[in-house]
């Protein structure tokens, strides 16, 4: 998948300053402040920038960390995993494969031996599942 070209000036107008900082400058939101950390509706969590489906609600769980946490991506072709050694830590950064936006990080402490995709709410656009 080729990365989508993003007009940064247009994106700055579309997003609030916190979302832009997180998505494009690899920031993070404070724990327990994002709109989806305790969200329980059924549907999909998509990239705020390009709309790619990233995570399904049935893989979301309460990790106790204050960020939306998922065990698996909706489609492994929707995300990229990158080594991140910033801030004196060794982590795996999660980015959107289509637009390159920073989403969060991947950790090895998910339930039942699974991984934990720790994702910033500001990076997500929720689409409710129609029943």
47 is catalytic: no
> CA–CA separation, 25 vs 125, rounded Å?
18
Buried b (16+ CB within 10 A) or exposed e, 5-23: ebeeeebeeebeebbbbbb
Which residue has 């997003």 as its token pair? 15
Please compute, for residue 114, the number of CA atoms within 13 A of its CA located in the half-sphere on the CB side.
15
**From the candidates 47, 96, 99, 118, which is the catalytic residue?**
118
Positions annotated as catalytic residues are: 118
């Amino acid at each position: 998948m080729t990365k989508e070209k993003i007009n940064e000036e247009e994106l700055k107008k579309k997003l609030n300053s916190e979302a832009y900082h997180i998505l494009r400058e690899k920031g993070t939101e404070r724990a327990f402040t994002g709109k989806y950390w305790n969200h329980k509706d059924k549907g999909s969590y998509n990239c705020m920038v390009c709309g790619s489906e990233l995570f399904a609600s049935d893989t979301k769980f309460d990790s106790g960390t204050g960020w939306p946490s998922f065990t698996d991506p909706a489609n492994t072709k929707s995300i990229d995993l990158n080594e991140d050694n910033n801030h004196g830590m060794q982590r795996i950064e999660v980015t959107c494969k289509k637009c390159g936006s920073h989403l969060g990080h991947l950790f090895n402490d998910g339930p039942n031996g699974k991984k934990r995709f720790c994702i910033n709410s500001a990076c997500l656009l929720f689409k409710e599942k129609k029943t």
